[in-house]
Every structure is written in C-alpha cells, then in structure tokens.
Amino acid sequence: MMSTTQTTTVLEGGYIRLDDKLYENGDLRAYFGQTVDVISTANEIPTVMANDDRRLTLSPIFVTTALKTARNITLAAANNSRNKMGLILGDSGNGKTVATYYLAYTIPSCIRLCAWDGISPLVLLKTLLKKLQPEEGISRGTSQDVMTQLLPQVWGRIFVIDETNHLSRHHFEKLRNLVDEGCCTIIFVGTSLMLQSFENPRYSIYLEQAHRRIGGRQIYLNGALSVEILQEKLSMFFDPKSLNKPILEAFRKYNWGHLDEVIQQSLRRMEKLNQNLTIALIKAAAKETRAEVIKV
C-alpha cells in the first residue's frame, strides 16, 4: 500500500527523487485532473501526496498569474470576518481543476473535494466530514446530525469545491450555514453555467445571501498562458531553438487542457512524417484533436 506522504528532492536536469525512484519533472502525458500527485516547478510544494487507489504520476504545476490570483482570492475570503466565500469560474479545459489542486497543496488549511451529478446535500456534508476525519465513522443520521459533527471541526478551514455546477440551492443554503456558523471558508469552482443558478428568478431569493458573500472575490480563468510560461512548458517537448514567436503564438491559441493534446499530436506527426515543427503541423495536430481556440 502506498504511503500518503512521501518526501521529494528536486535534482538537476529537471528530475525528482521520490523515495528511491526518479521521475521526470516534465511528464505531462497524463491529464492533471486525473491525478492528485503534484510537484511545483517553482519548488513551492515540499511533498507529494498520493492516494492508494491512483497510479503515481508527477505533473508540474506552472504557477501562472491566474493561479496566483486564485490563491489571493482564497486567502482574502479566509481573512474576511464574515463574507468568507469565493468563486473560480472557467470553461472546460481552462485550468479550474489545476487551480483546486494548487490551492490544496499551497495552503495548509485548504481541503479540496469534487461534487458530482446527483450528489445530495446530505452526501456532500458527509464528504466534507470524511475529509476532516478519514479514520472515523460517519453518522447515518440527517443533514442536521452531520452538521452538528461538522461545525466544531471546520473553524479556520478552507474548502475548495470543484464541479459546483452540480449543486442546487439546497446545497448552497447548507454550505452558507456552515460558513456562517462554523467560521470556515468555501471557494466554489465551476463553469459560467453556475451563475445561472444565482440569476434564476425562482432561486435568486435563496441564493442572494451566498452571492453577496462572494462579492468581488471571484476570477474567470480563460486558459491563456503567458509567453514565458508557454515557452517553459514547450521546452520540455521541443527543441527550444525551434520555439520562435510565430510557433509560440500558434500554440498559445489553445487553452491548458487542449494544449497538452495538441503538443502530443504534434510530436506524433513530427515522428511519423519526419517533419520539423511548423505552424502548419501545429494546425493539423489541433484539427485532429478537435482543440478549440481560446475565447477571450
């Protein structure tokens, strides 16, 4: 069984020593959202966490301005005396899930969880409780019973909830109560569809208090990367000398999630066709992967 905490050492050449094994820091072949194993290229994260039921895969987090802003919003909400809520929005593939892991691994009091289609308010509360006391049993009682167990344990905690599009006004009401009575912080993460819940006339009266608590502590992730971050990422796969400005701009059209697929398909085409990296090759790779251009 894999241990839950393992010490890492960053070595020269971009390799990482994890216990007695070496891993390449540039391995981005697995989608980051499918693994909880994290290492930061900025060496901000001293340990790598791994669940027993997941294959160990290291993927670097590129600390972008958007991630820093998301972190600042989270800390601002946590430091607020009353309005302790925040919101991270973005389309699919724009880096929301990466942001949730980044927050969980750089803020000691932060706990990440992910909602799913059909999750009930009771199960959501039980999931929160299980995160706080993984070794203990959870009451089979009502939402109020679970809330009674939660309240003494959530003070000062930050909960980052991914896929909050699946939550209803009933979920938001219970979470707002948890924030008010337990003095914890909750960051909601989802697509712009989530805002429709707040704007729906039938529910707005119920969600108004939650929306007011979020206030200006929100960010929209568009998936765009700075030239510097993009160049660092692409240098892991391509000859840095080939990464001129037109090539960088060609890759920069795609968000973080689609970019990995475009990179891998470009590498496959280069090998199969014995071609150099060109704008035409990148466009063909993007077409084959059905990558969408960033909407800004």
Q: Note whether 179 and 84 are within 8 A (CB).
A: yes
Domain boundary assignment for the chain: 5-61, 65-221, 227-289
DSSP strand pairing (185-190 vs 85-90): parallel
Q: How far apart are CA 122 and CA 52, in angstroms?
A: 26
pTM of structure: 0.71
What pLDDT is stored for residue 189 in this prediction?
95
Q: Look up the CATH architecture of domain 65-221.
A: 3-Layer(aba) Sandwich (3.40)
Tokens at 38, concatenated: 């994290």
223-258 residues labelled b (16+ CB within 10 A) or e (exposed): bbbeeebbbbbbebbbeeeebeeebeebbbbbbbbb
- pLDDT tens track of the chain, all 296 residues? 333 333 333 333 333 333 333 333 333 222 233 222 333 333 333 333 333 223 233 356 677 788 888 999 999 999 988 889 999 988 887 889 888 988 998 898 999 999 999 999 999 999 999 999 877 776 678 888 999 999 999 999 999 999 999 998 889 889 999 999 999 999 999 987 777 766 666 666 666 777 777 877 888 887 777 788 888 889 989 999 999 999 999 999 988 778 889 999 999 999 999 999 999 999 999 999 988 777 65
